């Protein structure tokens, strides 16, 4: 039996693998010497038995070593990355990267596209006329030297083993494996070259992880992997239409915007600035005086975008109205995300195009008083109907029963979006 076959057999039995076994397995899979069918046994074994901290450290290190790595240490200023596990309406990176960069911190952001009901940062920025997500390593260095930040798609040479393993997990039913989730996230972040990392681990109905227990465990494992890789890592556990999302982000960059978006942005910014050695910096001041907006505009222009160009507007809208008067007690974020997906804001597989104008615009939030017939949300789309069925019909079906109206005494406000800090 070969080394790799023996390693997989050991994992199937529930045994822990050595660093050498894990490295050989990942290297063999990257080179094509280990087949998808064989590697599928490994992913299922990990799903069943889990991994020790040492195994997870070795797996992540092997995935990083499968490709190239970026290195920003010669810039002379600290570099801090941010990663979100994703959720409905997440547009924080658009605000956070230029905000933290405005304090002289390098913020390299390798971001992704939407898949399913959760948002993708790259899709949101592509709503800006002319903006391009591809940057060479040399252009990334130039961006950090010029204005301190960039948001770009990951280069295919960074952790290529992760790309292969990610696709395999999708077809083997092992997407939810915590060790495989954690090694996937951290291999890309370590290869991305930042010296410190702040993680926004989301939980709730609109997030990838619905329960705080799941979010807490993932956050703990991610922080452990980061620290084992000599990257200062912290995590916040937080409660959770593309051009519409850019509009909201721009409102916050201009000193206004939704209070909850501003709250989360400032919380993450303070963590990043603290890791960069600036514990007393006041990020709120740079939102309010326009400094962060100036850095956002510089970032957009560097990547070919026109920050002053009008954002695309949907050609079709549908207004959803309240069916009763009272207090809006709850609104299901996942249902809103699925409605946006049906309107054309998301994709079922990577490579699909999205409608940059599509999404759900909310006019009321839980805790607010509403009247019968009042506009609760507006659905936006420019896509033509598919197979004779309206995109609005599918979106409205997803929103069926998604909100609840009742007496104000029934409403229980949450104290903060920030649930825990690890």
Answer for the pair 59, 183: CB distance below 8 angstroms, yes or no. Answer: yes
pLDDT tens digits along 370-381 = 999 999 989 998
Amino acid 396: pLDDT: 92
Q: Would the pLDDT of 387 be above 50? A: no
pLDDT tens digits along 330-350 = 888 888 888 888 888 776 665
Residues 101 and 240 in one domain: yes
pLDDT tens digits along 62-91 = 999 999 999 888 888 899 999 988 655 568
How far is residue 305's CA from residue 260's CA, in Å, rounded to a whole number?
28
Amino acid 273: pLDDT: 97
Residues 118 and 167 in one domain: yes
Question: Is residue 67 included in any domain, yes or no?
Answer: no
Q: Phi and psi at residue 53, in whole multiples of 5°?
A: -60, -40
Question: Is residue 63 included in any domain, yes or no?
Answer: no
Residues 138 and 267 in one domain: yes
Domain final position from 302, 330, 362: 302
Amino acid 161: pLDDT: 92
Cα angle value 199/117/260 (rounded, 5°): 50
Residues 218 and 88 in one domain: yes
Instruction: Tokens 């937080």: give the residue.
Output: 238
82: left (phi over 0), alpha (psi -120 to 50) or beta: beta
Question: Is residue 233 included in any domain, yes or no?
Answer: yes
Amino acid 374: pLDDT: 94
Question: Is residue 196 included in any domain, yes or no?
Answer: yes
Q: Would the pLDDT of 244 be above 60? A: no
Residues 196 and 108 in one domain: yes
Residues 337 and 256 in one domain: no
Residues 296 and 337 in one domain: no
The residues assigned a catalytic role are 83, 162, 169, 184, 188
Strand bridging mode 149-153 / 107-111: parallel
pLDDT tens digits along 300-333 = 999 999 999 888 888 888 999 999 999 999 888 8
Question: Is residue 112 included in any domain, yes or no?
Answer: yes
Average pLDDT for the chain = 87
Residues 215 and 361 in one domain: no
Cα angle value 203/329/371 (rounded, 5°): 140
pLDDT tens digits along 207-222 = 677 788 989 999 999 9
How far is residue 416's CA from residue 140's CA, in Å, rounded to a whole number?
35
Q: What share of the chain is helix, strand, coil (3-state, %, to 5)?
A: 45, 20, 35
Amino acid 245: pLDDT: 65
Any residues with CB less than 8 A from the CB of 241 and at least 6 apart, and which? 314, 340, 343, 345, 357, 358, 359, 360, 361, 380
Question: Average pLDDT, stretch 240-268?
Answer: 81
Q: Phi and psi at residue 376, in whole multiples of 5°?
A: -95, -40
Question: Average pLDDT, stretch 167-196?
Answer: 88
Answer for the pair 299, 151: CB distance below 8 angstroms, yes or no. Answer: yes
Residues 372 and 280 in one domain: no
User: How many angstroms from the chain centroid is the CA of residue 398?
Assistant: 23
CB atoms within 10 A of CB 123: 23
Question: Average pLDDT, stretch 181-190?
Answer: 92
20 pLDDT tier (thresholds 50, 70, 90): very high
Residues 293 and 327 in one domain: no
Amino acid 58: pLDDT: 96
Amino acid 114: pLDDT: 54
Amino acid 388: pLDDT: 45
Domain limits at 379? Answer: 316-410
For residue 364, give the CATH number of its domain.
3.90.1170.30
Answer for the pair 79, 105: CB distance below 8 angstroms, yes or no. Answer: yes
Question: Is residue 131 included in any domain, yes or no?
Answer: yes
Residues 200 and 97 in one domain: yes
What's the structural domain count of the chain?
Answer: 3
Answer for the pair 177, 169: CB distance below 8 angstroms, yes or no. Answer: yes
Question: Is residue 288 included in any domain, yes or no?
Answer: yes
For residue 240, give the CATH number of its domain.
3.40.1030.10
Question: Is residue 78 included in any domain, yes or no?
Answer: yes
227: exposed, middle or buried (C-beta count within 10 Å: 0-12, 13-18, 19+)?
A: middle
| Three-state SS annotation for 158-214 | ECHHHHHHHHHHHHHCCCCCHHHHHHHHHHHHHHCCCCEEEEEEEECCCECECCHHH
Any residues with CB less than 8 A from the CB of 398 and at least 6 apart, and which? 335, 338, 339, 341, 342
Residues 233 and 271 in one domain: yes
How far is residue 128's CA from residue 253's CA, in Å, rounded to a whole number?
15
How far is residue 293's CA from residue 219's CA, in Å, rounded to a whole number?
30
Q: What is the dihedral of CA 57, 210, 110, 169, to 10 degrees?
A: 60
Amino acid 166: pLDDT: 83
Amino acid 89: pLDDT: 52
Domain final position from 280, 302, 324: 302
Which range among 114-118, 177-181, 286-290, 378-382 shows the weakest confidence by mean pLDDT? 114-118
């Amino acid at each position: 039996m070969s080394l790799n076959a023996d390693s997989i057999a050991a994992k199937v039995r529930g045994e822990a693998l050595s660093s050498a076994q894990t490295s050989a397995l990942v290297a063999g899979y990257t080179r094509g010497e280990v087949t998808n069918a064989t590697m599928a046994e490994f992913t299922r074994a990990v799903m069943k038995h889990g991994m020790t901290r040492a195994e997870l450290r070795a797996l992540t290190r092997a995935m990083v070593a499968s490709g190239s790595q970026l290195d920003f240490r010669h810039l002379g200023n600290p570099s801090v990355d941010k990663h979100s596990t994703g959720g409905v309406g997440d547009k924080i990176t658009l605000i956070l990267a230029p905000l933290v960069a405005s304090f002289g911190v390098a913020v390299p952001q390798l971001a992704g596209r939407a898949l399913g009901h959760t948002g993708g940062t790259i899709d949101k920025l592509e709503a800006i006329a002319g903006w391009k997500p591809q940057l060479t390593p040399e252009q990334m260095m130039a961006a950090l030297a010029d204005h301190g930040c960039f948001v770009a798609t990951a280069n295919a040479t960074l952790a290529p083993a992760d790309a292969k393993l990610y696709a395999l997990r999708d077809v083997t039913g092992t997407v939810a494996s915590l060790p495989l989730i954690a090694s996937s996230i951290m291999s890309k972040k370590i290869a991305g070259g930042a010296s410190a990392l702040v993680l926004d681990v989301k939980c709730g109905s609109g997030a990838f992880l619905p329960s705080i227990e799941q979010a807490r465990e993932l956050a703990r494992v991610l922080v452990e992997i980061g620290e084992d890789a000599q990257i200062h890592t912290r995590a916040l556990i937080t409660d959770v239409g593309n051009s519409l999302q850019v509009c909201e982000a721009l409102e916050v960059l201009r000193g206004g915007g939704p209070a909850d978006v501003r709250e989360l942005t400032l919380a993450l910014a303070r963590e990043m600035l603290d890791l960069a050695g600036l514990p007393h910096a006041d990020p709120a001041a740079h939102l309010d005086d326009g400094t962060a907006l100036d850095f956002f505009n510089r970032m957009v222009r560097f990547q070919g975008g026109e920050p002053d160009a009008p954002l695309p507007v949907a050609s079709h809208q549908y207004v959803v109205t309240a069916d009763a008067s009272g207090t809006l007690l709850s609104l299901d974020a996942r249902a809103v995300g699925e409605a946006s997906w049906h309107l054309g804001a998301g994709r079922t597989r990577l490579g699909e195009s999205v409608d940059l104008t599509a999404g759900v615009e909310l006019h009321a939030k839980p805790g607010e008083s509403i009247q019968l017939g009042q506009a609760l949300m507006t659905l936006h789309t420019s896509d033509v109907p598919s197979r004779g069925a309206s995109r609005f019909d599918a979106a409205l079906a997803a929103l069926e029963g998604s909100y609840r109206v009742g007496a104000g005494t029934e409403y229980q406000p949450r104290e903060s979006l920030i649930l825990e800090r690890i």
